[in-house]
C-alpha cells in the first residue's frame, strides 16, 4: 500500500479498534469485579448475622445477592451481547477494510514510523561515527 491517505485512514480505523479493545477490557474488569463483589456478599451476610443484624443480612441477601446489573442480565450476558452486537462487527469491518485496502497488513502506519525512526537513528550513528573516526 503506497497511498499515504489510505495508510492514514486505515491507521485511524485501527486506532478506533484499539480504543474498542481497551473498552472491552474495561467491560471485562466490570464483569470480574461485579462477580467478585457478589461473592463477597456471602461473607458480609454471614458477618451481619453473626453480629445479630438479621434484618440487614436478610435485606442484603434478598436485594443484592445474585442481582441483575441490567434488567434480566448478569455481567457475563452484557459482555456476550457487547461482543455479538458491537465488538465482533467492529473487528470484521476493520479486518475487511485492512484486507481490501491495505493488503491485510496490520499497523502499517506504525510500521512506517518504525522504518523512519530507525532510519533516523542509523543516520545519527553514522554521522557520529564519521565525525569521531
pLDDT tens digit string along 36-66?
A: 999 999 999 999 999 999 999 999 999 999 9
pTM metric for this prediction: 0.77
Residue 129: inside a domain: no
Is residue 122 assigned to a domain?
no
Closest Cα to residue 98, out of 10, 20, 5? 10
Position 122 confidence tier, pLDDT thresholds 50, 70, 90: confident
Number of structural domains found in the chain = 1
CB 45 within 8 A of CB 60: yes
Domain holding 30, by residue range, is 4-106
With both helix axes pointing from N to C terminus, report the angle between 75-82 and 4-50 in degrees, rounded to the nearest 10.
170
Residues 6+ apart with CB under 8 A from 13: 94, 97, 98
**Looking at residue 121, what is its pLDDT?**
85
64 in any annotated domain: yes
103 — alpha (psi -120 to 50), left (phi > 0) or beta?
Answer: left
Amino acid at each position: 500500500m503506497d497511498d499515504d491517505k489510505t495508510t492514514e485512514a486505515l491507521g485511524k480505523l485501527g486506532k478506533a479498534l484499539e480504543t474498542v479493545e481497551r473498552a472491552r477490557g474495561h467491560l471485562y474488569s466490570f464483569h470480574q469485579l461485579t462477580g467478585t463483589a457478589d461473592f463477597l456478599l456471602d461473607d458480609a451476610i454471614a458477618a451481619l448475622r453473626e453480629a445479630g443484624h438479621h434484618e440487614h443480612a436478610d435485606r442484603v441477601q434478598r436485594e443484592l445477592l445474585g442481582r441483575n446489573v441490567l434488567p434480566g442480565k448478569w455481567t457475563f450476558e452484557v459482555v456476550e451481547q457487547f461482543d455479538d452486537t458491537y465488538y465482533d462487527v467492529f473487528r470484521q469491518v476493520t479486518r475487511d477494510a485492512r484486507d481490501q485496502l491495505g493488503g491485510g497488513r496490520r499497523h502499517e502506519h506504525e510500521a512506517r514510523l518504525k522504518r523512519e525512526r530507525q532510519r533516523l537513528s542509523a543516520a545519527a550513528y553514522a554521522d557520529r561515527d564519521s565525525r569521531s573516526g
